[in-house]
Amino acid sequence: MKTKFLYHAEAVGASGHITLPFDEVIEIQASAALPISGGHGTSRSENFKHRNILSFHEAKAHVVGALSDKEKKHHATLSSVVITGLNVLDVVTCDRMVMRLTSQHDVGAQGEAAPEPSFKLHGTHFDNLRIAGHLIDVKLATGLFNKCDTWTGLSNSYANAAERKDLKPLTLLEREDDQLPESKGMLGFTFAQIPDPLPDGLTRDGHGIKVDHFGTVYIGELFISRYKRRVQMLHIELGCSVEGCVSLGSGEGNGLPWP
């Protein structure tokens, strides 16, 4: 049977689940996904508001999957989300948020894809992200993960003591040794470098920023396996008079040759 490439890419603008003072699912907004044959898709949600909890002016999702002939043949995917005018309970606001994940899976001489894809986060950023009124000048380590763009490349960097010192503080799983913090074939990182010290009223909670009487804001989560990467720009765990969770700007990309 001839080998074919099964594309996979998805992009989701916003979703959530509120559990207090009522139990409601925030319906998924601006969602796009590729069929296994690849292609192109977009979705948009405008002037969205869920009660007084979550609102935004616009959310756009975009996915692409295609075989490129330029320079050298490779299967490529794009997953992107742009959200403008974001507001979560008047505590987390952002003028513009961009999640952009691309992948490249090279085609070998016999027409079969190379064993590992590469991934880039070029263009991923926040404009005027504020928490509790404070401008959060979060530095995104997109360049670091663009450099470690394959599973093997990331593993080799983590094995190198000099390079590990930049990666280890960004891991989501803590290990006492210097082995790659893998769980179920997946690595968890944050590519957000939280400023220190934080403004008054904000404290660190693991890789998140805690706001009393509101909840914890997690920025720039990146989940990596050998053949795919998944990004979540903002993940907010609400905990006080309003409880639940909100996910904003997530995406995944690549695919696999089969059989």
Phi, psi of 169 (to 5 degrees): -65, -15
The full length of the chain comes to 259
d(Cα 259, Cα 240) in Å, to the nearest integer? 50
**Selection from 64, 66, 71 nearest residue 5 by Cα:** 66
Indicate the average pLDDT of the chain.
93
**175 contacts 107 by C-beta, under 8 angstroms:** no
pLDDT band for position 108 (50/70/90)? low
The whole-number average pLDDT for the span 169-190 is: 90
> In the prediction, which pLDDT does 114 show?
59
Neighbours of 72 (CB within 10 A): 9
Q: Is the pLDDT of residue 257 over 90?
A: no
What are the CB-based long-range contacts (under 8 Å, 24+) for 231-236? 231/79, 231/99, 231/101, 231/121, 231/124, 233/81, 233/97, 233/99, 233/124, 233/126, 234/92, 234/94, 234/97, 236/88, 236/92
Domain ranges of the chain: 4-258
Please report which confidence band the pLDDT of residue 112 belongs to, taking 50, 70 and 90 as the band edges.
Answer: low
pLDDT of residue 71: 59
pLDDT at 171 (0 to 100): 95
Provide the pLDDT for residue 68. Answer: 84
Global confidence as pTM = 0.94
Give the mean pLDDT of 29-39. 97
**Model confidence pLDDT, tens digit, residues 192-209:** 999 999 999 999 999 999
pLDDT score at 175: 79
| 205, two tokens | 């909670």
Identify the DSSP state of 199.
P
pLDDT(109) > 90: no
Average pLDDT (213-227) is 97
Closest C-alpha among 162, 138, 155, 108 to residue 218? 138
The pLDDT of residue 113 is above 60: no
User: What's the CA gap between 245 and 26, in Å, rounded?
Assistant: 10
DSSP codes joined into one string, 123-192 = T-EEEEEEETTEE--PEETHHHHHHS-SHHHHHHHHHSHHHHHHHGGGBSS--SSSS--EETTEEEEE-E
Query: For residue 164, which phi and psi values (nearest 5 degrees)?
Result: -65, -30
Q: Give 110's pLDDT tier (boundaries 50, 70, 90).
A: low
55, pLDDT greater than 70: yes
Q: For the ranges 107-121, 138-152, 196-210, 233-247, which has the lowest average pLDDT?
A: 107-121
Provide the pLDDT confidence category of residue 258 given band limits of 50, 70 and 90: confident
> Is a pLDDT exceeding 80 seen at residue 107?
no
Structure tokens at 201: 């009223």
More confident residue, 118 or 257: 118
Q: What is the pLDDT of residue 259?
A: 77
Share of the chain above pLDDT 70, in %: 96
